[in-house]
Amino acid sequence: MKHIHILGICGTFMGGIAILARELGFRVTGSDANVYPPMSTQLEQSGIELVEGYDPSQLDPAPDLVVVGNAMSRGNECVEYMLNRNIPYTSGPQWLLENLLKDRWVIALSGTHGKTTTASMVAWILDQTGQQPGFLIGGVPQCLGVSARLGEAPFFVIEADEYDTAFFDKRSKFVHYRPRTLVINNLEFDHADIFPDLAAIQRQFHHLIRMVPANGLIISEQGDKAVTEVLEQGCWSEQQFLQSKNPDANSQWSSTLIKADGSEFEVYLKGELQGVVKWTQIGRHNVHNGLMAIAAARHVGILPQDAIKTLTTFENAKRRLELKGQVNEVVVYDDFAHHPTAIHTTIEGLRAKVGQQRILAILEPRSNTMKQGVHQDTLFNSMSEADAIFLYQPDDIGWDMHRAVDGTDLPVVIEKNIELLINSIIEQAQSGDQLLVMSNGGFGGIHQKLLDALQVKFKDCK
């Protein structure tokens, strides 16, 4: 039994690789700076031995192969030990290609926004229609219960991230996946820590498109300028276009909202009604994601009517407008939004659902792109449908939040201390308010702290 050791194992992607490797029969061990649940529990239950920290002793005796996560960099003790002793190593995406993806029909879900959700939808559709797909998703879909599964069918669903592969391979992860079915949800500038501009990201998408076979399929949004520019650089595969707002004869796929919050919509293929999706998801962005998933599933043989029926039972990955709790009709949500477009679509969807009830938008600008101030000019406009804005200002942020909110009509609270931010939120919270917490990190456990503080505030109201 070959032994692989994974550096940076507790992230969703690398943890997923560990689970897949174990299912393939490898002996798997791994380490991370912080080993904690739920990923550590999932890995240990799979028979994977974990080490906290990067002491080089974990590589003695040497494994057959080290799989290096993209969070690892030169100077890391294990990385230097591995290089100095010439221990064989590879990246996670490259390992996937060589050991799993090269023999599968890969369905790749890419784009700046909606990758996790759309990948989860496709995996669920295939699962519920008896296809037994494999998948690797950057989150844990509540309907599937796990982020990765080997599967038994030829189909493998993967969330195709444009972030770089490893310290020794600066190409985007997704160039290793060789998809036959490729969804490009949308394309905007992000990941300012590794990409200088949108054109650099578009170049990586062009490389990805070059790998899709002629009998493969590329599905994208009609009229997305950045995606159109990529396709114009060269495309050798069948293309299908989607228009998620209104039926359009020039788009193969389109939809019409029945309910304004997106919880019910019609699906059209070449102008013909295929059925109605009735589900628990909200927002135009999820209508778009659902339409993409139906189109991708059709390419592997799933009838639109069957895909539509399956989506009625879909439960999204955690942290996608996830309900965390409710106290005295004050509702607390958690959402992964960390880009102005995602923030806008999340608030827009919630507004359509709750009508005139107040929305308190609570944001931690945690991503490298956000901290660098790349989106500071559009950030506050993206929250215009909220009723009040509460911002946490981390110490390492590179721009002046107070200056950025000049001219904003909405009430804004900015705090450098999470506890003070919570106090301000609780002071203003009223029965019926929707507290929307947005961050791509843990945000200091703010969700439960808000619920606990609300219990104290409203204890006399019971």
Structure tokens at 419: 């506890």
Band (pLDDT 50/70/90 cuts) for residue 374 is low
3-92 has which fold? Rossmann fold (3.40.50)
What burial letters (b/e) apply to 181-202, b meaning 16+ CB within 10 Å?
Answer: bbbbbbbbbbbbebbeeeeebb
Give the pLDDT confidence of 263-313 residue by residue, as tens digits.
Answer: 999 999 999 999 999 998 888 889 999 999 999 999 999 999 999 999 999
pLDDT score recorded for residue 5: 98
Q: How many CB atoms are located within 10 Å of the residue 319 CB?
A: 19
Q: pLDDT grade, residue 250 (50/70/90)?
A: low
Confidence of residue 105 (pLDDT cuts 50, 70, 90): very high
Higher pLDDT, 352 or 420: 420
If we measure between CA atoms, which residue out of 257, 231, 260, 235 comes closest to residue 246? 257
Integer angstrom CA distances of residue 361 from 7, 162, 319, 432: 36, 28, 15, 14
DSSP percent split of the chain into helix, strand, coil, nearest 5: 35, 25, 40
Supply the pLDDT for residue 93. 97
Distance, CA of 167 to chain centre: 22
Tell me the mean pLDDT in the region 19-34: 94
Of the chain, the percentage scoring pLDDT greater than 90 comes to 61
Asked whether the predicted pLDDT for residue 18 surpasses 90, the reply is yes
Q: Residue 343: pLDDT above 70?
A: yes
Q: CA nearest 207: which of 230, 182, 184?
A: 230
- Per mean pLDDT, which range of 9-13, 69-73, 316-320, 330-334 is the poorest? 316-320
Share of the chain above pLDDT 70, in %: 94
Q: What is the largest CA-CA distance in the chain?
A: 67
Whether the predicted pLDDT of 248 surpasses 70: no
Looking at this protein, which amino acid is placed at residue 335? D
Domain boundaries, the chain: 3-92, 100-311, 322-461
Long-range pairs for 50-57: beta carbons < 8 A, 24 or more residues apart: 50/9, 50/10, 54/7, 54/78, 54/79, 56/80, 56/81
Nearest in space to 5 (alpha carbons), one of 78, 93, 101 = 78
Instruction: Please give the full DSSP string across 293-318, using - where no structure is assigned.
Output: HHHHHHHTT--HHHHHHHHTT--PBT
Q: Over 80: is that where the pLDDT of 94 sits? A: yes
Per-residue model confidence (pLDDT) at position 107: 98
Q: Are strands 134-136 and 148-149 parallel, antiparallel or unpaired?
A: antiparallel
What band does 179 get if pLDDT is binned at 50, 70 and 90?
A: very high
HSE-up of 111 (CA within 13 Å, CB side)? 28
Model-level pTM? 0.82
Work out the mean pLDDT of the chain and round it to a whole number.
89
State the pLDDT confidence band at 55, using cuts at 50, 70 and 90.
Answer: very high
The string of pLDDT tens digits covering residues 78-91 is 999 999 999 999 99
Instruction: Compute the distance between CA of residue 90 and CA of residue 169 in angstroms, rounded to an integer.
Output: 9
Q: What is the CATH number of domain 100-311?
A: 3.40.1190.10
Who has greater pLDDT, 376 or 457? 457
Query: In this predicted model, which residue has the larger pLDDT, 328 or 54?
Result: 54
Question: Helices marked H in 233-375 — which ranges?
Answer: 284-299, 304-311, 340-354, 368-371
Which class would CATH give 322-461? alpha beta
